[in-house]
Amino acid sequence: MSPARVVSLVPSLTEAVALSAPGSLAGATDWCTRPAGLDVVRVGGTKNPKVDRIVALAPDLVIANEEENRESDLAALRAAGLDVLVTEVRTLPQAFRELDRVLTACGARARPRWLDEAEAAWATLPTHAERRTAVVPVWRRPWMVLGRDTFAGDLLSRLGVDHLYASHPERYPRVPLDALRAAGPDVVVLPDEPYRFTADDGPEAFLGLPCALVDGRHLTWYGPSLTGAPAVLGRALRAARR
């Protein structure tokens, strides 16, 4: 049986499918940068996919995410007769379940080793007797931070870091910089995506507060990066002590 023809609109799922169901990907977004050298048709961005180009590829399945992609685009794909699988990932256990579902739908012949290794890596974390508080900006101009029910927030919690806007009614609230400083976090976590915070762009706004520059792929992607994420994120967080 030939593999399913799949178009992925989610970078982390693109990486997972490419590694676990080789030959199944027919298209992916311009933002799908992993694995390196992926040679598939590009179908635009996650927020503005080229629906006509996707339809022309005649995929058996389009994989998407309820947060990453717009419902209007997904509705247009369904109206064109395409099967669209929409994931929801707001916690680590949910990520593992959705990855199983996606890979099965894409024709993976067996559960990939990296998925077992990722579950094991997160299951064997040490107990964090000392917990720290954080604010986690994901954008500036305006400043936006992690709020309630986010995948990244769940990962940080498992690493002993509780972000201060976890009970905010919005998932990605806009908060003035003065309020972020006044919240008095133990650490400011600055990922390099979706906004690319760097040593020269971000920490200067939080003078006097420890800042952890973290790999956004390890903090926000649900896929093979989850295997190394506890170690990578843990090192960055430990380096940001007062």
| Closest of 11, 234, 231, 35 to residue 117, by C-alpha | 231
Separation between Cα atoms, residue 54 and residue 43, nearest integer Å: 6
Q: Does the pLDDT of residue 242 top 70, yes or no?
A: no
Whole-model pTM: value is 0.93
Give per-residue pLDDT as tens, 179-208. Answer: 999 999 999 999 999 999 999 999 999 999
Give per-residue pLDDT as tens, 121-155. Answer: 999 998 877 899 999 999 999 999 999 999 999 99
Separation between Cα atoms, residue 8 and residue 18, nearest integer Å: 10
Structure letter (DSSP) for residue 31: T
E strand intervals along the chain:
6-8, 25-28, 41-42, 61-65, 84-87, 132-135, 137-139, 144-145, 161-163, 187-191, 211-214
Give per-residue pLDDT as tens, 58-97. Answer: 999 999 999 999 999 999 999 999 999 999 999 999 999 9
Radius of gyration of the chain (CA): 19
pLDDT at 18: 96
Confidence of residue 222 (pLDDT cuts 50, 70, 90): very high
Dihedral sign, Cα of residue 41, residue 44, residue 45, residue 51: negative
Helix, strand or coil for residue 63?
A: strand
